[in-house]
Amino acid sequence: MTLNPADSSLFGGLFGTDEIRHLFDDRRRLAFMLEVEVALARAQAAVGIIPADAAEAIAKAADPSKLDLVQIRAETEKAGQPVMALAKALTQAAGAEAGRWVHWGATTQDITDTAQVLQLRAALDFIERDLLALIAALATQADRHRTTVMAGRSFLQQALPVSFGYKAAVWLAPLLRHVERLHQMRPRLLQVQFGGAVGTLASLGDKGRAVTERLAAELGLACPLTPWHASRDNLAELGAWLGLVAGSLAKFAGDVTLLAQTEFGELVETTEAGRGGSSTMPQKRNPIISTHIVAAAMGVEAQVPLLLAAQHHQLERAVGPWQAEALALPQALALTAGALAQSIRVADGMRPDGDRMRANLAITNGLVMAERVMMALADKLGRGEAHHLVQAACLAAMAENRPLREILGENSQVAGLLDPAALDVLMDPAGYLGESEAVVDRVVAVARTLLTQ
């Protein structure tokens, strides 16, 4: 039994990914900590603090498969963290002579934070890969449907014509910004943590900075200006970024659920057999993937306040906020990764129905084209009078349940300004897409440039 659906064998395929789950598996987490301990020993050997043969003995002894998880769990419950138990096990495995140099000058938070950064680096590699895959899928949809005309809606009401390609481009554009934000964030986030008890590295004398720089190089991480034991803005930034990504995915998935309503019927989420079926209603094809994307996004967004609050570290080392990060970050990463994986499935598999889109445009009896007619008349009458004239025609069309084209054609003032052929042109939704194709061109061009870098 699991408490979080993202970890469940039943629900894990809906709310997470195996890659992220594996990254935060207990043994893998300890393996990252061992990687940091080994890199620390090698860094200290390189600057002459510990013997080189001791560092290599520590490296050979650092085998996560040989760790006794039951014993480490028991000691973690006593100490509040697993690093002491891990260092003890590594000391014993390395032997008496080399083992005395294990964890030299480090504190628990150094190992835990740096190991977490290694986890985050791997997790963000997976997430960026899937972001790019989603970008590619939406760029394809935008390009393919650049002239597929449909109703654009405001306040959930039909407003003006757009194209489905335009809609896909609008879904896509924030994802491009998220990749840009990720690239900007990585150098700030992927920094080594090494400060000793309170950040001063006093136990290493004048070699503290040299060890920090060498440790960072060993792990391929940046070297911070100061230890960040009590400065957690970079992790809060990551949480906020995950929330932004989740929000964009929820917008996409939410639109899909609306367009897939029976009354709209403008797309199906996927044509995959059995997907979204009902146990009692054979006809149902529920947008079940998008449903779980929205739910996962809400879960991610719920973690953001906790990560922001976890910046409240007291003095040099925290009581509570540091520990709270562990409750939020893995869950936010897992749910974001799961929502991304599901979004790719929707973006690849969704099938817009252009005929139904055109049919839905017709249900207003042409009212959706009122602005175009008004703007054409405004050139001759001024905007205010044109608005009044067309609004009166719209009210008549609704009251009489007649096409707006007929009402306008019967109006002597309109007839004196627009001939029937001109009025027919003005009533064609396909001719009033404005910048839709230009938007598609711009967004798709940026996406393709990004995908070829």
Taking residues 282-294, what's their average pLDDT? 80
Among 121, 317, 358, 402, the one annotated catalytic: 317
pLDDT tens for each residue of 397-430? 999 999 999 999 999 898 888 899 999 999 999 9
CA distance 37 to 82: 13
- Indicate if the alpha-carbon torsion angle 12, 13, 17, 22 is positive or negative: positive
CB 270 within 8 A of CB 349: yes
CA-to-CA dists, residue 166 to 144, 148, 365, 430, 441, angstroms: 10, 9, 24, 13, 9
pTM, full prediction? 0.92
Taking residues 127-145, what's their average pLDDT? 97
Among 188, 278, 442, 448, the one annotated catalytic: 278
Taking residues 118-130, what's their average pLDDT? 97
Tell me the domains of the chain and their CATH numbers.
Answer: 1-106+207-221 (1.10.275.10), 116-191+228-362+436-453 (1.20.200.10), 367-426 (1.10.40.30)
Would the pLDDT of 211 be above 70? Answer: yes
Is 317 a residue of the active site?
A: yes
Is 412 a residue of the active site?
A: no
CB 365 within 8 A of CB 403: yes
pLDDT tens for each residue of 311-343? 998 888 888 888 889 999 999 999 999 999 999
> Regarding predicted confidence, which is higher, 85 or 5?
85
CB 452 within 8 A of CB 182: no
Would the pLDDT of 218 be above 70? Answer: yes
Would you state the pLDDT for residue 283? 58
Give the H or E element holding residue 352: strand 351-352
